[in-house]
Amino acid sequence: MFNPAQIGSMKLPNRFIRSATAEFAANFDGTVIDEYYDLYTKLALGEVGLIIQGHLYIMDEGKAHDKMAGIAHDFHLDGLERIVQAIHNTATGSKVSAQLNHGGIHSVSKKAPSIPDGKKAQAMTEEDIEAVIDSFGTAALKAKQIGYDAVQIHAAHGYLVSQFLSNRINQRQDSWGGSVENRAQLLLSIYRRIRSQVGSGYPVLVKMNNSDEPREGFPVEEAIKVANWLAEEGLDAIEVSGNQSTRTKFEDEAYFSKNARRIKKNIGDMPLSVVGGFRSINMIQQLHQDFADFISICRPFIREPDLVKKFRDGKKRADCISCNKCFKPPIIITCLDKEE
Ligand SMILES: Cc1cc2nc3c(=O)[nH]c(=O)nc-3n(C[C@H](O)[C@H](O)[C@H](O)COP(=O)(O)O)c2cc1C
Ligand code: SF4
């Protein structure tokens, strides 16, 4: 875990990934505040191999919540570029990926694949879908131009791309709905557009649900198929997550690993990372030896941005107790566990 590794052309100092973590701190217009630089400098000084920044909206109508940062306009770019520089300036070798997102039904526009029962939503037209694909491509190119080492498509956690993947939410009767081939078309089209924008050598990643259990709209068998298609298309790495991504049960460590292992068996050489509840270095080492090329962590890095160094120095278990109090920070994402 502590040795250098590679995702596509991107050289990483180790195999620890900071999974994307919304900072809940941007200005109303999506520009970042000064506190971002300190947050990301600490993670890089803590020697996190790859830092995936909190999700960025790729177009105004895809903004998922207040205080979410954007990469939709040129005026967003200066602040983002300074985050990239802050990370690279630490000289620890930490790399940084932008995470690109559209909130779909959870966004300000409430645009969705189709209109779920009893929900206020706007079913997307062909033009809407093309605009989304285009905006993902443009955002990825901007990210590359301002120095991000990679981009990640957010295809998990109930946002737009995962809404399309789920046959429970995606009730479309056209070529974007129905079979898993059709439901995966949005993700694959976004991937292809991004690839055409950034070129073959630039790392493109996807974060995707392992299934949407306990519901049945995207079973693991379908997740395996989609991951395999992405691998065939040349995706650089997949990060496996799932619905109910932030579980609070302390003892429930590595809760998506069973299905992540099944996915890994079916994607050839494409590197895989798994996220969800990793707290102890024993479990991290064990699952890395078993199947996971990389291990992704979110909440423990909020509490201890220097956790990688601490693990290397012999710490056995992260201090985070998975209480989820950090979701509503006063200024920027921070550990709010009172007993700290
Ligand atoms: C405060 C907070 C913000 C999050 N923001 C994002 C996000 O922007 N994008 C994303 O893909 N996941 C996000 N997540 C989910 C995490 O990346 C991760 O998948 C989840 O917390 C499980 O990992 P953990 O047990 O190591 O925290 C967020 C989680 C938390 C707690
Ligand atoms: S507030 Fe709770 S979940 Fe969040 S970092 Fe602190 S201990 Fe972990």
Residue-by-residue pLDDT tens, the chain, 340 positions: 999 999 999 999 999 999 999 999 999 999 999 999 999 999 999 999 999 999 999 999 999 999 999 999 999 999 999 999 999 999 899 999 999 999 999 999 999 999 988 888 999 999 999 999 999 999 999 999 999 999 999 999 999 999 999 999 999 999 999 999 999 999 999 999 999 999 999 999 999 999 987 777 899 999 999 999 999 999 999 999 998 788 887 667 899 999 999 999 999 999 999 999 999 999 999 999 999 999 999 999 999 999 999 999 999 999 999 999 999 888 999 999 864 4
* Ligand (nearest to CA of 21): 1
Q: Say whether 218 sits in a helix, a strand or coil.
A: coil
Find residue 204's DSSP bridge partners.
151
| CA–CA–CA angle 117, 248, 242 (5° rounding) | 50
What's the pLDDT score for residue 244?
79
> Is 212 a domain residue?
yes
Going from the Cα of 229 to the center of ligand 1, the distance in angstroms, rounded, reads 25
Contacts of 302 (CB under 8 A, 6+ apart): 21, 320, 326, 333, 334, 335
Question: What is the four-CA torsion angle of 130, 136, 140, 141, rounded to 10 degrees?
Answer: 30
What's the pLDDT score for residue 246?
85
Contacts of 74 (CB under 8 A, 6+ apart): none
Number of domains in the chain: 1
> Has this prediction a pTM greater than 0.85?
yes
Going from the Cα of 187 to the center of ligand 2, the distance in angstroms, rounded, reads 31
> Is 143 a domain residue?
yes
> Is 340 a domain residue?
no
Q: Which CATH number covers residue 119?
A: 3.20.20.70
Q: What is the DSSP letter of 90?
A: T
> Is 336 a domain residue?
no
Ligand 2 site, residue 337, Cβ cutoff 6 A = yes
> Is 339 a domain residue?
no
What's the pLDDT score for residue 340?
44
Q: Which two tokens stand for residue 160?
A: 């737009």
Find residue 98's DSSP bridge partners.
151
Helix axis angle for 126-145 and 185-198, nearest 10°, is 40
* Ligand (nearest to CA of 277): 1
> Is 214 a domain residue?
yes
Residue 303 CA: nearest ligand 2 atom is 5
* Ligand (nearest to CA of 339): 2
At which residue do the structure tokens 């062909």 appear?
A: 126
Q: What is the CA radius of gyration of the chain?
A: 18
Q: Say whether 140 sits in a helix, a strand or coil.
A: helix
* Domain of residue 311, residue span: 5-327
Ligand 1 pocket, CB under 6 A: 19-22, 54-55, 99, 154, 156-157, 207, 241, 245-246, 275-278, 297-300, 326-327, 333
Q: Both ends of the chain: CA-CA distance in Å?
A: 28
Instruction: Label residue 289 exposed, middle or buried (CB < 10 Å: 0-12, 13-18, 19+).
Output: exposed
Name the residue at shortest CA distance from atom 2 of ligand 2: 323
Instruction: Label residue 321 exposed, middle or buried (CB < 10 Å: 0-12, 13-18, 19+).
Output: middle
What's the pLDDT score for residue 338?
63
> Is 334 a domain residue?
no
Residues 79/85, Cβ–Cβ less than 8 Å: no
pLDDT digits (tens, 9 = 90+) for 85-142: 999 999 899 999 999 999 999 999 999 999 988 888 999 999 999 999 999 999 999 9
What's the pLDDT score for residue 30?
98
Of 187, 202, 190, the C-alpha closest to 148 is 202
What's the pLDDT score for residue 214?
74
Give the whole-angstrom CA distance, residue 178 versus residue 112: 15
What's the pLDDT score for residue 161?
98
What's the pLDDT score for residue 250?
63
Going from the Cα of 249 to the center of ligand 2, the distance in angstroms, rounded, reads 12
> Is 337 a domain residue?
no
Beta strands of 30-79 (E only): which ranges?
Answer: 50-57
